[in-house]
Amino acid sequence: MKKTGVILLVVLAIGLIITVANSVSTRNFMAKVKRIHLGDTKVAVERVLGRPVGVFKPSQAGSTNFIIAMLEVRSETWAYGPKMYLGKEFPYFVPFRLRMFRPDEDDVAIEFDSSAKVSKISIPSR
């Protein structure tokens, strides 16, 4: 019984540490996002936020395929979000995010105009 209690305590402590670390990491990242401004270059964005987890560009096929045109991005968009994901619903732990045509709804998305300058910054409401 004593052994089970110690194991349970260790598991709870690890869970608490992960939760706190995730919260601090998210706050630090959001502070970095606030340093990005409209008109910044791709180099400036990468210097502040690092490499994106996904880069989405409009395809040429989108102009002829209605379904792709509805799903994909309109301009080059960089996605910043976790590669690993702890979900709020069962199964809670999903090891990856599926980003096919655009960023995930929980990603920070940085859109660039045709001159490679930031034209829009999308921050999810959490």
| Angular region, 91: left φ>0, alpha ψ -120 to 50, beta rest | alpha
Domain boundaries, the chain: 35-122
Q: What is the tens place of the pLDDT at every residue in 14-71?
A: 877 766 655 555 667 788 889 999 999 999 999 999 999 888 887 765 556 665 556 6
What class does CATH assign to 35-122?
alpha beta
Q: What is the pLDDT of residues 87-107, one digit of tens each?
A: 555 545 555 555 566 677 778
Q: pTM of the predicted model, to two decimals? A: 0.62
The three state secondary structure string of 55-123 is EECCCCHHHCCHHHHHHCCCCCEEEECCCCEECCCCCCEECCCCCCCCCCCCCEEEEECCCCEEEEEEC
